[in-house]
Amino acid sequence: MLALNVDYSDLDYDNLALSIGIKNRYIPMIIESFLKEMDSILEALEESIKSKDYDKIRLNAHAIKGSAGNIKLNEIYEMATEMESEAAQKNSEFDYKLYFDAIKNAVGTISL
């Protein structure tokens, strides 16, 4: 089972910059861009979950997976990967709302 209670409030900019391969001074700009993008993707994901549109759930989860993966937010990446995979199988038994809430909460712990 994946960790669904993730807290990025103590995100280490130095290690993050090192793992991405960029200078530390660019991290705030990247984090700001990520957070702005997540607002619209999470809104679209929530709507697609409510309407049980598995194709849109898959696409939105894929977008989250890519964005989180690019900046090494591995727990969000893993949750989005799981959601994307289940939506691709149109698994009606999967708890998309649980994963959505976990991703949204994890994103909410990120600050500049």
pLDDT tens figures, 64-109:
999 999 999 999 999 999 999 999 999 999 999 999 999 999 999 9
The secondary structure element, H or E, covering residue 87 is helix 74-88
What average pLDDT does range 31-58 have in this prediction?
A: 98
- pLDDT of 3 reads 78
Taking the model in full, what pTM does it have?
Answer: 0.94
Looking at 1.10.10, 1.10.1740, 1.10.287, 1.20.120, the CATH number of the domain 13-108 comes to 1.20.120
CA distances from 81 to 9, 10, 69 (A): 22, 23, 10
pLDDT by residue (tens digit) across 47-69?
999 999 999 999 999 999 999 99
- For the chain, the structural domain boundaries read 13-108
- Mean pLDDT value of segment 14-27: 95
Query: Can you tell me the mean pLDDT for 2-27?
Result: 93
- Residue 1: per-residue pLDDT: 58
Distance between CA atoms of 55 and 101, rounded to whole angstroms? 19
At 11, the pLDDT band (50, 70, 90 cuts) reads: very high
